[in-house]
Structure 1
Amino acid sequence: MQFDTFENLLFSLVSVSWKHSFLDVYRCIERLFSISFWQEFYQNLGIKDSLINFSANIENYTDWRPKEKEAINKLIDSQPEYAINLLKEIKNDLDGNSEGNLGEFIYKIRNSIVHFRPATEPISIDDKNWDKLIRACLLVIEYCYNQYKDEFNDNCQNQVVIERSRDNLQD
């Protein structure tokens, strides 16, 4: 797991509020948006560079990234049943039904915290559902980071080589 992801999870653990804990966990999911969005296209092109670098290059060179709502829906739809069921429980408790896009539901909660606009309604979540929501998001993180572990490991190894090269140049 990358250091920045580990750092976000650590901040989530020591947070004094549920919403800030959730936001740090959400950032780990957000890290996956472009990777999961571009995976099929990347594989079809047969590119030799890593999927992470490919995703970063698309964003850096074209200034384009997937819309968050679409990306999170695609990501959440591919999750194991136990994570989906937990998210449905929370959605049912808060919205009165478990139908609809679960990714959009998570995104709506995120937006209710980070945006302070008149059109953005705050969402009231009790301790039980905060706990479930964060647990469900952690299940998503565990599943996805295991799914992409080779990508992350390759990218981390490349970063170490780059950093060592920089250190050698400075000596």
Structure 2
Amino acid sequence: MAKVRYDEYIKSIFEPIVALAKIGDIKKLKTAGLNPEIQSEQFERFDSLEVYSDEVITLRNGDFIAKLKCKDEYYIVISTEFFPSCDTDKLFDCIDNLNAQEHHIEECFFIKLCYHLQGFYKPSLENSQDRELEEKLALGHREEKESYQGHEIDELIDVYRPIKVFKLDSNSVIPELGIWYLAAKLALYCPCLRSENINSDILSTANNIIELNSANYENIYLSLTSLHWKHIYLEVYRCIEGLYYLPWMLTLRDQIGTNKNAFELAKIVQESIKWREKEKESIKNLFSLLTFDCFDTSGISGGKFIDGLTLSDKDEHKRLVAGKIYSIRNQLVHQEDYEEQEKVKITHSCWPPLTLFLYKAVEYLFSEYELHLSQ
């Protein structure tokens, strides 16, 4: 990959400013020289600074999070332009519990963020109105003067979206667990970052799942932040899909007496004989592994969508509920479900227990069978 020239970094700072203000000479605009006391250090840090631009995540409220690395130290960046004041303390509580400390916005951070996070890190909405940028930065006038030495980094930071930078302690789990883990944790802490449909029971169970450090954090985050119940349901269901192999491989493992876990065994079987599990039968077998507590505490067994299913045989009840869950998934994903003659009727009141049940199923399976999951 070709090295980016320094003038291209500087251009990336001023291009969105000029585009919004509709005034200013992009060829003349530049940043002022740094204080000699920090210049050498900042240029050294600039060269070693890495922005993980492919991992930036847009939060539900319109803000974003990103990850940086400078030498052997990791940092996270969180924009706070749309955070309500009531959630700001919760944000800091979350970050504190993740072993991170607030860090000042270094000059090298600002310059590289402007280039690598174009479209995310840009002039704030407040400064995009009327002639705010023109007046604050004296665009079209200041750069035309012979005495112009460039705009100070601090004044440019002030017109960009407000951000917070946090330095991760050496014992922080974020570098290992990833940016989606951070996004999911933020959604748990800050109401402005999650769907209003998420009730306290779902929230509590989601927190338990995330603390297991084994479920797909992206799916949990997307479920917690989705606007509609359909997508809340589908995203957590995708965690279930990732476990279709489990009941089959647990049975095979017992039969052949291998010490390999179920995931390793599934890989071997798939690669050697191209085996693929049948979805509907897999979810029935998977739900047979659940304790009945998952059904009772979620309220799913009393739902209208499973009217007529007997509770006299608990094992059969688990399989019948699994069939309904699978049918609901199909009718949400496909225009037609050719396996069912009649659609499962879902009312608004059905979604909370349905979704809570899936969360509890994920919590149980990922906890109980942790040693048989992918590592």
TM-score (norm 1): 0.77
Relative distance call for 1:48 and 1:113 in structure 2 (3 A) is: same
Of structures 1 and 2, the larger Rg is shown by 2
What is the DSSP-based 3-state SS (H/G/I as helix, E as strand, rest coil) of the residue aligned with 1:80? coil
Higher strand share: 2
Q: Distance in 1 between matches of 2:337 and 2:246?
A: 33
Q: What do the CA deviations read for 1:42-87 (whole angstroms, capped 9, x no partner)?
A: 1332223332021122223322222111111111122122223333
Q: Distance in 1 between matches of 2:291 and 2:306?
A: 22
What is the DSSP-based 3-state SS (H/G/I as helix, E as strand, rest coil) of the residue aligned with 2:222? helix
What is the DSSP-based 3-state SS (H/G/I as helix, E as strand, rest coil) of the residue aligned with 1:47? coil
* Deviation, structure 1 residue 2: 3.2
What is the DSSP-based 3-state SS (H/G/I as helix, E as strand, rest coil) of the residue aligned with 1:27? helix
Relative distance call for 1:102 and 1:124 in structure 2 (3 A) is: closer
Are residue 142 (structure 1) and residue 363 (structure 2) matched? yes
Query: CA contact under 8 A between 2:219 and 2:235: conserved in structure 1?
Result: yes
* Deviation, structure 1 residue 123: 4.2
What is the DSSP-based 3-state SS (H/G/I as helix, E as strand, rest coil) of the residue aligned with 1:133? helix
Q: Distance in 1 between matches of 2:225 and 2:345?
A: 22
2:326 is matched with which residue?
Answer: 107
Q: What do the CA deviations read for 1:112-151 (whole angstroms, capped 9, x no partner)?
A: 1111137566544223211110100111111111111123
Q: Runs of at least 4 residues of structure 1 off by over 4 A?
A: 118-124
1:127 is matched with which residue?
Answer: 348
1:159 is matched with which residue?
Answer: none
Unaligned ranges ≥5, structure 2:
1-212, 311-316
* Deviation, structure 1 residue 105: 0.7
| Residue in structure 2 matching 1:12, options 203, 210, 223 | 223
Q: Distance in 1 between matches of 2:284 and 2:224?
A: 26
Query: CA contact under 8 A between 2:234 and 2:329: conserved in structure 1?
Result: yes
Deviates more, 1:30-39 or 1:59-68: 59-68
Query: CA contact under 8 A between 1:113 and 1:122: conserved in structure 2?
Result: no
Q: Distance in 2 between matches of 1:145 and 1:69?
A: 20
2:244 is matched with which residue?
Answer: 33
Highest relative contact order (Cα 8 Å, sep 6+), 1 or 2? 1
Query: CA contact under 8 A between 1:89 and 1:98: conserved in structure 2?
Result: no
Higher helix share: 1
Q: What do the CA deviations read for 1:88-112 (whole angstroms, capped 9, x no partner)?
A: 222xx02432335111110010011
Unaligned ranges ≥5, structure 1:
157-171
Deviates more, 1:101-110 or 1:78-87: 78-87
Q: Distance in 2 between matches of 1:19 and 1:8?
A: 14
2:274 alignment partner AA: D
What is the DSSP-based 3-state SS (H/G/I as helix, E as strand, rest coil) of the residue aligned with 2:245? helix
Map of 1:1-171 to 2, 5 A cutoff? 1-2=213-214, 5-85=216-296, 86-90=299-303, 93-99=304-310, 101-117=320-336, 119=338, 123-152=344-373, 155-156=374-375
Q: Distance in 2 between matches of 1:77 and 1:48?
A: 23
| C-alpha RMSD of matched pairs (Å) | 2.1
Q: Distance in 2 between matches of 1:141 and 1:127?
A: 22
Q: Distance in 1 between matches of 2:368 and 2:306?
A: 31
* Deviation, structure 1 residue 22: 0.7
Query: CA contact under 8 A between 2:306 and 2:321: conserved in structure 1?
Result: no
- Aligned residues, how many? 151
Q: Distance in 2 between matches of 1:34 and 1:7?
A: 21
